[in-house]
Structures are given as C-alpha cells and as structure tokens.
Amino acid sequence: MIKLLGIELKKFLRLKTLIVILLFFILCGKLVYNAYCHIQVAVKNSNGSASDIVIKSRENLNKNFLEDLERYKKNGDIAGIQRTEERITNNNEALDLLYAKRTSAKDKLSRMDYSIKELELQLKNKALDTVNYRNIQEMEKQLEIYKAYKASGIIPDDDRFTALRYIREFPTNMCILYMAIFILLLVGDAVSSEHSSGTLRVYLSQPVKRGRVLLAKYLAAIIVSIVLFLFIELFYFVILGLLYGWGPLNAPMELGASYIKNSSSLVYIKGTQYFVPGYIFMIYSLLLQCLYIAAVASLGFLISVIFKKPAVSLSFNVCLLLMIYTIIYNIKAFKAVHSFLFSSYGDITGLLTGNLRPDMRNNALTIPTAIITMGVTCVVCYLLSHFIFKKQQIY
C-alpha cells in the first residue's frame, strides 16, 4: 500500500499542480496585501480624522441639546427638561472619554482602558455604536474581549498586521472559496485523466486490486491538498512574523460564543464565550482547515471517478461549488440543509469564535456539527467513489 501511495503522490508532480499552486500563492499574497492596507487605513482613521469627526458630531449634538433645553424651559416642559439634561450629561461623559482617548492615542494601554470605559458607558446608556456593531450584544461581546486582554496583561495589536492576526483572518469565506476552487482544480481529474489517457487500464492489468488503487489515489489527493495549501498559508505566516512580528502568541482568543434566536436574528448570550491562548487558537484553526480541505478534495475526487473525461470532471466540480455558494445560500428554502453542507463551515475563524452563526443566521453551525459534517462528507465521498469505481468498465 505504501508503494502504491508513493506512486500516486508522484503523479501530482506535474505542470498543472505547479500552475494551481502558483496562482493560489499569488492570490494569497494579494489578499494579505489588501488586509494590510485595510489595517493601515483603520489605524489612520482611529488616530486622526475619524475620531475628530466623531468628537465634532458629539459637540454639535450638545449644541442641539442646549437649544432643546432652552425651548423646554420657556414652555415649562418638566419632562422634556429632565430628559434633555440626562442626554447632555451622557453626551458630556462620552465627549470626555473621546477627548482622553484622542490625547492618549499613542499609548496602547490607555487607549484600551478608554475603549473599555467607552463601551461600558454606551451599554449603560443603551447607545448602540452603529458604526462598529450590529447590536448591543455585539458590544457586550467586544467588552468581554477587551477585559480578557486586560486581565491577561496583554495589549491588543490592532495597529499591526502580525502573523497571529493573519492566521486569525486568513480563513474567511472569500479566501476559503478560492482555496476550494483551486483544490478542485488540483484533484478534480485525479482519476478521470487516467481514464481518458488509457493509463488506468494498463495500471489495473497488473496484479493489484481496484480498491487498493483507488484508496491510494484518494489518500494521495488528500495529502497533496492539505500539505500544499497549508504550506502556502504557513509560508505567509512566517514571512509576516519576520517582517511585522508574530504578535503575542499567548493573547486571549475568544471561542464558542452561544446565541439564542430572537425574532429573525440571533442574539449573543452574555458570558458564554471563553478564551484560549493565541497559539492554541492557531492549532484549532489549522486542524479544522485540514478537515475542510479534505472534505473539498473528497468531493473533487468523487466527481473525477464519476466522469471519465478530465475537462468534464473539472468543469462540473467548479460549477457545483459555485452553484452551492451562489444559489443554495441565497434561497431560504435551502436554509434547513446548510448545517449538513461542508461548505457552510469554510469561515473557520467565524466557526471557532461563534460569529459564523449570526452571520449566516443559523444557530446549528457549531464546532461539533462542523467536525461531524466534514468528516461524514469525506467518508461518504470515498465510499461512493469506491462503489462506482468497482462497478465501472475500464477501457
């Protein structure tokens, strides 16, 4: 079996593999560069013009409140006076924090303390920060994260695109979709290409069982996919670590946030997320990515067994994946089956933190469900491939 596996691994040493890997390498580089630019813009805004705009807006709001207060006093509206005075007090507290935060912009520790106070004040007044958060519960979730950093004595590295931040932000839906397409292009003709060229018939004329041949091809496809694509991810991880720092590898990373359904949305249950060191989070992320890559490669392998022409199997693979992402996830009637599709768990970071559930409005998208779904996908795809391959006429 080891000898067969070695033979099948060598078959991936071809020009097409090099082209696929090179294209994915370039794409990842572009995504890394875009993320870096996005962070630089965000840092510039938080330290400069954006904070000034927020302060100016608050100051104008105070002027409006004072005008309202004068009008209520003239009309003798006691309720209006009390309500407006409370608003002025709350707004002044927010302004004081903004002034202090702007003054200490370069001091990361002070900035984090002011961010905590700002969120606590907003939650106290039930004032939703619509720029950064979708609901009050998201603000509570972020407050827990800031407090976890403070408790661990670590300052968030928000102004640098560190290696750890890259590992956290790399496996998003967009990048995983691209990865899935490249995996399908890599393994989508693993069997069909040998059908078409006739080498499979010569191969099977030797004293070797079909099942062992297929298993060797399947394992080779899984191994090559995982090794090559994780190698590229870890390559950029090392480069960013050397250039911009590794980030605090023991920084607290949130896991397992729970949600409850509230009308048409999912609401975070306060205090349900817990925290692990950054290096543990990175290990979890890489392991789940391995499982996701294996599920994608298994689907591509199955299609390559069904169709005997490589062009057809490759085209069908890519079209099937695009159909899932563009049609299945945009039709409400299919929402019930989302948790049974491995493609639902492509956002590994969202899966780990729990953010995937509110993003897709599906409370069933949990880590255990993801592991079971992707594992079952691998097993089912291989068993179907085995059954079809054993019944096929090889000529």
Q: What is the pLDDT of residues 60-105, one digit of tens each?
A: 888 888 888 888 888 888 888 888 888 888 778 777 777 776 666 5
Q: Is there a domain that residue 134 lies in? A: yes
Q: How many CB atoms lie under 10 A from the CB of residue 289? A: 21
* Same-domain status, 277 and 174: yes
Residue 394: pLDDT band by 50, 70, 90 thresholds?
low
* Same-domain status, 112 and 192: no
Last residue of a domain, one of 93, 118, 152: 152
Listed in sequence order, the residues at least 6 apart from 137 whose beta carbon sits closer than 8 Å to its beta carbon are 267, 268, 270
* Same-domain status, 225 and 297: yes
Q: Is there a domain that residue 349 lies in? A: yes
Contact, 41 vs 49, CB < 8 A? Answer: no
Does residue 144 register a pLDDT over 60? Answer: yes
- The Cα 10–Cα 279 span in angstroms is 33
Of the listed ranges 47-61, 76-90, 135-149, 308-322, the least confidently predicted one is: 47-61
For residue range 239-295, what is the model confidence (pLDDT) as tens digits? Answer: 988 888 888 888 899 998 888 887 777 888 888 899 999 899 999 999 999 999 999
Compute CA 199 distance to the chain's CA centroid, rounded to the nearest angstrom: 41
Q: Is there a domain that residue 211 lies in? A: yes
Last residue of a domain, one of 120, 152, 184: 152
* Same-domain status, 174 and 231: yes
**Among 229, 372, 366, which Cα is nearest to 300's?**
229
pTM of the predicted protein model: 0.81
| Angle, helices 210-244/173-187, rounded to nearest 10 degrees | 140
* Same-domain status, 276 and 312: yes
**Domain range for residue 382?**
2-40+162-391
* Same-domain status, 188 and 52: no
* Same-domain status, 66 and 178: no
The residue-averaged pLDDT of 4-23 equals 81
Q: Is there a domain that residue 157 lies in? A: no
* Same-domain status, 207 and 334: yes
More confident residue, 356 or 136: 356
Q: Is there a domain that residue 207 lies in? A: yes
* Same-domain status, 143 and 188: no
- Give the CA dihedral 16, 19, 23, 26, nearest 10 degrees: 150
Buried b (16+ CB within 10 A) or exposed e, 36-55: beebeeeeeebbeeebeebb
Last residue of a domain, one of 152, 184, 216: 152
* Same-domain status, 234 and 369: yes
* Same-domain status, 169 and 123: no
The residue-averaged pLDDT of 303-323 equals 86
| Number of folded domains that form the chain | 2
Cβ-in-10-Å burial (0-12, 13-18, 19+) of 288 comes to buried
Listed in sequence order, the residues at least 6 apart from 3 whose beta carbon sits closer than 8 Å to its beta carbon are none
Phi, psi of 355 (to 5 degrees): -70, -15
- The Cα 371–Cα 345 span in angstroms is 9
* Same-domain status, 103 and 229: no
Q: Is there a domain that residue 83 lies in? A: yes
Residue 180 structure tokens: 């899935």
Angle (nearest 5°) at CA 111 between 107 and 115? 175
- Give the CA dihedral 41, 44, 48, 51, nearest 10 degrees: 60
- The Cα 307–Cα 319 span in angstroms is 14
Residue 192 structure tokens: 């069909």
